[in-house]
Structure 1
Amino acid sequence: MKAVSHLAESRAQSGGFDVMRLREDFPILKQKVHGKPLVYLDNGATSQKPQSVIDALNHYYTAENSNIHRGVHHLSERATAAYEAAREKIRRYINARSDREIIYVRGTTEGINLVTQSYGRSFLKSGDEIIVSAMEHHSNIVPWQILCEQVGAKLRVIPINHDGEIVMEEYHRLLTDRTKFVSMTHVSNALGTIVPVKEMVASAHALGVPVLLDGAQAVPHLRVDVQDLDCDFYAFSGHKMFGPTGVGVLYGRAELLEKMPPYQGGGDMISLVTFEKTHYNVLPYKFEAGTPHIAGGIGLGAAIDYLLALDWNALAAHEHRLLSYATDLLTDIDGVRIIGTAKEKAGVLSFVLDHVHAHDVGTILDQEGVAVRAGHHCAMPVMQRFGVPATTRASFAFYNTTEEIDVLAQAIHRVRKVFG
């Protein structure tokens, strides 16, 4: 079984970026919806999977299916080796120092909850302050609110301007000796804003404050280097970066993870259990209770193989062209207003259409074969900030084309015609 498709490999070798050839790696893109070619622009919700990832999942279940870390038989050893090899691929992909710092989780949400309940409940107390931004996904708001209720801490929110950018002066004002944690998105799922996280991490560290970054929307579009960012924790999901659902990663500095208690108890996170006392396993297994999503981890490794075979400079340039083209095209449509106009953006174009609810827009676009997201995008405070109940969000991946954006624009014109 080849971990990386010939098409992705050949483009990386030639140094080019042939999107039409790469699209052949994604079988789902060949189908029709309502009799029309599928135009998949909902990558911010989940990405499609290349054949190599599908093959990796199939190979595991047909040739290696077994539980890991516990068996001495052949299948268990092969499954364990494949699962741990994927962990090492993840480490290299984000440039962590050690695979001890790579914790498998179900996704970004669980990674953030792990930090709030393990680090937060251990080291935060009444009167401490936690800083988040006004553009966070609910997964980076609600867990901190729960923690605040548990320990008596307070949540502080960095405002954003009318373009959807962090107001840096307010961030620096909020950073005080009461600040004990900062948690923020790297790329906004609702606006596409690329947050200047490296600068913000440095400011927090100047006061000795640890930082978690929500990288769910960053890892499909940016090459992430956790050592360069100097963050303390970084969480992301496999399914948004062309891997399986139900698997994700929490990166944490080893020195912090060593001090944190387990998030959950059960099998594999222990080294010795007696009724008098339990001794916990070493990192990263201390945080991985029970049988994990083995196939998911292996599939995520295959997705990383695929991504690393691409020319990332060409990929970034292609995605930038897509976003610029879509922004220009939609801005010219009467009644369309773009929500989120930051100078630095990645992969997301949210908009509203005058006098038409986003759900109606999404429904008619679906009839034209165009898949977008309509709603609040698990970011209700963002909607409140811009005074809208919901937006329609087109979110792009490297396999999208300008021709597909033309179809999107034509479908929006049809919406305008339907609603007069």
Structure 2
Amino acid sequence: MLDIATIRKDFPILNRKVNGNPLVYFDNAATSQTPKQVIDTIVDYYSRYNANIHRGVHALAQEATEAYEGGRKKIQQFFNAAHAHEIIFTSGTTHSINLVANGFTAFVGKGDEILVSAMEHHSNIVPWQMLCERTGAVLKVIPMDQDGVLVMEEYENLLSDKTKLVVCNHVSNALGTINPIEEIIPMAHEVGAAVLVDGAQSSPHLKVDVQRLDVDFYTASAHKLYGPTGIGMLYGKQEWLKKLPPYQGGGEMIAEVTFAKTTYADLPYKFEAGTPNICGGIAFGAAIDYLNSIGLEAIDRYEHELLAYATEKLSRIEGMQFYGKAKQKTAVISFNIRGVHPYDMGTLLDKMGIAVRTGHHCAQPVMDFFQIPGTIRASFSFYNTKEEIDRFAEALERARQMLV
């Protein structure tokens, strides 16, 4: 059992008030809050050993290098990658996906096919559209049904020897659906296709073992894992990362530079041009430490308890319309109330101190599928409580009566 009262003390922001009301933060799918253990790590870095890494022989540079590479090692262990050099530091999931999409210019051509699921975030659609424009490849969509579940029979029909890459989120940010990547990955491999999984929404909730999954690429963002913004990671199988060309050129990613020719550094530095977000990498590691101290299994159990409680509570509200009814999902409720625009509801909830997300959630094709302008999305974390859900339900009913 989690000691929620003690956990909440680790998050200073939860003590503040918004518009005179205690903050209820239900926008965790957009970004999670940051515990003081991670905040202290950031302050400690800038206070005691702020220096550039890998290049200096002085004490501060060596301390910073050790802490930064220690962060990489923690991420490797968290996702169970075979090697630390299979973890590439990026600015976040979007950067990670673009890195792979840019590299795949060398591996796809006219008539080749890339499969993408119907419930992707724009970050996992647009880079592949750009790749298709560059190469003449064709983007095909794995459809979903009215429950927000991928139609696996159609996925199987789409796979062919033309399929070079399958890209799919592990968890839908708009619906909370947990996609069956344990089935998607081996089916793609059977036709010789590589697989990239967007793990931005799954990694804070589910235990991910990239070796067990046999996934080729997996992405995550620290700011959804209780770390800072501006830092993320790309996991790639060693054999793929060796084949992909560098994404950017500059310092750090080179072995030797002459005006005649440049040779590139070994992994992971081949993909890490320039001075990195050093503090971010260290703090990412601190966030992993914090999550490990609580335990993902305990987090998953408690968040599912919150999801069930909130679903039952909100279902009592007149005009409630849920989107994303998969049996397997994370602690996300995406909904509308009949006759109420999501933006109007979000604005009134904010006046009552409740933070939710409204709109298309950077998943506009999902909203087009349901023929709606957007949804109200409440996304829960292990620091949320049933008492906050009670406040949320009361606020929704109050706002509904004002707006209908």
- Residue in 1 that maps onto 2:193: 209
Inter-partner Cα distance in structure 2 for 1:224 and 1:20: 27
**What letter corresponds to residue 144 of structure 2 in structure 1?**
I
Whether 1:110 aligns to 2:95 is: yes
- Residue in 1 that maps onto 2:55: 70
Inter-partner Cα distance in structure 2 for 1:408 and 1:244: 27
Whether 1:272 aligns to 2:256 is: yes
Whether 1:86 aligns to 2:71 is: yes
CA deviations 1:195-247 (Å, max 9, x no partner) are: 00011101011111110000000010001110111100001100000000000
Inter-partner Cα distance in structure 2 for 1:254 and 1:311: 28
Inter-partner Cα distance in structure 1 for 2:331 and 2:97: 23
Whether 1:160 aligns to 2:105 is: no
- Residue in 2 that maps onto 1:141: 125
Residue of 377, 382, 400 corresponding to 2:361: 377
Whether 1:242 aligns to 2:226 is: yes
- Residue in 2 that maps onto 1:281: 265
Q: Secondary structure at the match of 1:61?
A: helix
- Residue in 1 that maps onto 2:19: 34
**What letter corresponds to residue 361 of structure 2 in structure 1?**
H
Displacement after TM superposition at 1:171 (Å): 0.4
Displacement after TM superposition at 1:314 (Å): 2.3
Within 5 Å, which residues of 2 pair with 1:18-417?
Answer: 18-118=3-103, 120-417=104-401
Q: TM-score, normalised by structure 1?
A: 0.95
Q: Is the 8 A contact 1:17 1:311 kept in 2?
A: no
Displacement after TM superposition at 1:166 (Å): 0.5
Q: Secondary structure at the match of 1:415?
A: helix
Inter-partner Cα distance in structure 2 for 1:216 and 1:86: 18
**What letter corresponds to residue 386 of structure 1 in structure 2?**
F
Inter-partner Cα distance in structure 2 for 1:311 and 1:254: 28
Q: Secondary structure at the match of 2:196?
A: strand
Inter-partner Cα distance in structure 2 for 1:307 and 1:42: 19
Inter-partner Cα distance in structure 2 for 1:396 and 1:202: 31
**What letter corresponds to residue 67 of structure 2 in structure 1?**
A
Q: Is the 8 A contact 2:86 2:237 kept in 1?
A: yes
Inter-partner Cα distance in structure 1 for 2:43 and 2:296: 28
Q: Secondary structure at the match of 1:47?
A: coil
Inter-partner Cα distance in structure 1 for 2:400 and 2:349: 11
**What letter corresponds to residue 195 of structure 2 in structure 1?**
V
Inter-partner Cα distance in structure 1 for 2:238 and 2:295: 31
Q: Secondary structure at the match of 1:213?
A: strand
- Residue in 2 that maps onto 1:4: none
Q: Secondary structure at the match of 2:179?
A: coil
Q: Secondary structure at the match of 2:294?
A: coil
- Residue in 2 that maps onto 1:11: none
Displacement after TM superposition at 1:347 (Å): 1.9
Inter-partner Cα distance in structure 2 for 1:249 and 1:341: 30
Q: Secondary structure at the match of 1:309?
A: helix
Inter-partner Cα distance in structure 1 for 2:403 and 2:122: 32
Q: Is the 8 A contact 2:19 2:352 kept in 1?
A: yes
Inter-partner Cα distance in structure 2 for 1:347 and 1:56: 28
* Equivalences, count: 404
Q: Is the 8 A contact 2:230 2:280 kept in 1?
A: yes
Inter-partner Cα distance in structure 2 for 1:284 and 1:312: 27
CA deviations 1:377-406 (Å, max 9, x no partner) are: 000000011111010100111111111111
Q: Secondary structure at the match of 2:280?
A: helix
Q: Secondary structure at the match of 1:126?
A: coil
Q: Secondary structure at the match of 2:101?
A: helix
Inter-partner Cα distance in structure 1 for 2:79 and 2:148: 26
Inter-partner Cα distance in structure 2 for 1:281 and 1:145: 30
Q: Is the 8 A contact 1:131 1:155 kept in 2?
A: yes
Inter-partner Cα distance in structure 1 for 2:142 and 2:263: 41
- Residue in 2 that maps onto 1:9: none
Inter-partner Cα distance in structure 1 for 2:287 and 2:403: 42
Q: Structure 1: which 5+ residue stretches go unaligned?
A: 1-15
Displacement after TM superposition at 1:177 (Å): 1.0
Inter-partner Cα distance in structure 2 for 1:312 and 1:136: 24
Root-mean-square deviation (CA, aligned residues, Å) is: 0.7
CA deviations 1:77-120 (Å, max 9, x no partner) are: 000000000000000000000011000000000000000001x1
Q: Is the 8 A contact 2:161 2:192 kept in 1?
A: no
Q: TM-score, normalised by structure 2?
A: 0.99
Inter-partner Cα distance in structure 1 for 2:76 and 2:295: 20
Inter-partner Cα distance in structure 1 for 2:73 and 2:165: 28
What is the aligned-residue identity percentage?
Answer: 58
Displacement after TM superposition at 1:328 (Å): 1.1
Inter-partner Cα distance in structure 2 for 1:304 and 1:337: 36
Q: Secondary structure at the match of 1:296?
A: helix
